[in-house]
Amino acid sequence: MLQISEELKEAYPGGCIGEVSFKNVNVDNSGVINLNRAKEELMESLRDNYKDYSRVALIQTEPMKNYVTYYKKFKKTYHVLLQLESVILKGKSIPESYPLVMIMFKSELKNLILTAAHDLDRITLPIGVELSRGDERYNLLNGMEKELPAGDMFMEDREGIISSIIYGPDSRTQIDEDTNRVLYTVYAPPGIEGSLINEHLNDIVHYINMVAPQAEMIKMTFHKL
């Protein structure tokens, strides 16, 4: 499903790209209740684990330090770090959304691994995983058009870009209440252990099984650059 360019491998040797996809994802109402309960438990756990929070200390740990280093190249702050701080310092929760999107947010906060979620039926395969030149443009989830900076990792199908590290998923392939086939992709800069990516993907599988017991996995793998 993912075709990784040689330019990307040369630019970020040791990085990882992960994917897990499902079909027949019919969300069960009782499963959503369980997911919301698990979300609240995660919020409590994060606030307890980070009660003596220090950004300086956190960004020295894996995988956070690797994302912080990557984002710093583009004069950006890793957005999962900001989301984590909003939970533990401001008492906020994961934003309300469709369950399949909630799974992405929950998994990101639990494992601090950057993830994108897409409606697989809105994607025209194959997906190329590329290194940006700096002139590529696409519409973000909020509808705003953005131009990628040179040197960013991004994914595109036959119709256009579906996500990038710096700006996130696109609007064309976004999940909605009718999504029945879903794709989760993971970006990991160099230095992040493959075992962390594998654990993260397995967490997504667990949450999918929670909300849609009849769902069938299409594929799960991660690729070392």
pLDDT digits (tens, 9 = 90+) for 146-193: 999 999 999 999 999 999 999 999 999 999 999 999 999 999 999 999
Rg (CA), the chain: 17
Give Cα 158 to chain centroid, integer Å.
21
Please give the Cα distance from 154 to 176 (Å, whole number): 22
pLDDT digits (tens, 9 = 90+) for 138-147: 999 999 999 9
pTM of the model: 0.97
- What is the reported pLDDT for 46? 96
CATH of domain 2-224: 3.50.40.10
- What is the reported pLDDT for 95? 81
Please give the Cα distance from 70 to 73 (Å, whole number): 6
Please give the Cα distance from 143 to 34 (Å, whole number): 32
Burial of 178 per CB tally in 10 Å (0-12, 13-18, 19+)? exposed
Please give the Cα distance from 216 to 219 (Å, whole number): 9
Show me where the domains of the chain are located: 2-224
- What is the reported pLDDT for 211? 96
